[in-house]
Amino acid sequence: MSSGSISKYFNKPPTPTQNRQDKRRDTLRQTAESTLAVLPRLISQYRAFNAQASTTYNLDSTPPLDPSKCPGFKLPPSSDDAIETAEEKEGGTKGLGTRIRVINGDTLDTAASLQQDPTVGEITRPIPTSTTPHKPVLILNLASEKHAGGGWRNGAMAQEEELCYRTTLSVSLHKHYYPIPSLTCLYSPNVVLFRSSFTSNHTLTQLLPLDMPVYSVLSIAGLRSPAVTDSGKFADDGDRKALKDKIRLVLRVAATEGHTKLVLGALGCGVFRNPPAEVAECFLGVFAEKEFCGGWWEDVVFAVMDNAPEGRDGQTGKGNFGVFWRALDGKVV
């Protein structure tokens, strides 16, 4: 190849797709800068509310759930025709639990649809009222174990980054937690939402600081680039066991902290390249374990964006949404 042709090769104009991606990254960098400017001002408004609060949970030091503390949520009457399993017969859990829903949607928008979210003011209200605010919805953050917030400061866009653009999550992901050990999660109880979604231009809310909704977030990383067989299975049984241990930790912490409404996701099925069918199967398998039966949760929703080409495959497609919908939607847990 001549020097002229080499120069021509490296100076090729960017494609329309590259232009769109570069423009989006630049826009998201600006959003990150705006968020970093907003956070100190917002947090300074909260005297009795600690948005920076967080703690770690490790599987080895988190005991199994105590069945005597299970709230025993019941299926709606129309769902009582669920097939009774051997575990239900043994444990008397027939008619208890909830049906998983799988939604092609944004994590935070899905969480907002589950209940009237408690606000900062309601949580910090010093005078008792006749109504106690709901426990915040617990959101599973599909986290990076290496970098707090993933690549959100550099304009990256995945689920964790979107949480950081829109909420106060980043101020609770303290540097000393990283790298996060494999069977450890971070629990951030007081995460405030102050922006709309990317598709709504990440608009800042007009709500007053005390009127902003609060969520709780549990951050855990999926397995990073595990070996996968041609048939879409984990090549190493140890990886399957490790993933199930991560899921057990998530569910134990959720119940231990008193959360009854969960928004989960396709853990590790993005850039970490976990096999989605196996991940969905692992979630279902852990939910079916005796420890987690009996009605621990009122609502369990998987928010899984359809990553099929142009997002058009839907429930019957090969994207993460279709795989999770077919494996989990309607299952009783």
Residue 239, domain member (yes or no)? yes
Residue 262, domain member (yes or no)? yes
Cβ-Cβ contacts under 8 Å for 1 (sequence gap 6 or more): 9
Residue 294, domain member (yes or no)? yes
Per-residue pLDDT of the chain (333 residues; tens, 9 = 90+): 455 555 555 555 666 667 778 899 999 999 999 999 999 999 999 999 999 999 999 999 999 999 999 999 999 876 444 444 444 444 456 789 999 999 999 999 999 999 999 999 999 986 655 555 689 999 999 999 999 999 999 999 999 999 999 999 999 999 999 999 999 999 999 999 999 999 999 999 999 999 999 999 999 999 999 999 999 999 999 999 999 999 999 999 999 999 999 999 999 999 999 999 999 999 999 999 999 999 999 999 999 998 877 656 789 888 999 999 999 999 999
Domain containing residue 182: 3-328
Q: Provide the domain count of the chain.
A: 1
Rounded to two decimals, the pTM is 0.90
CATH of the domain at 145: 3.40.220.10
**Which residue bears the tokens 């939910």?**
287
The answer to whether 267 and 279 have CB atoms below 8 angstroms apart is: yes
**The tokens of 85 are what?**
């399993």
Residue 333, domain member (yes or no)? no
Residue 226, domain member (yes or no)? yes
Residue 107, domain member (yes or no)? yes
- Is 299 strand, coil or helix? strand
| CA separation for the pair 204, 202 (Å, rounded) | 6
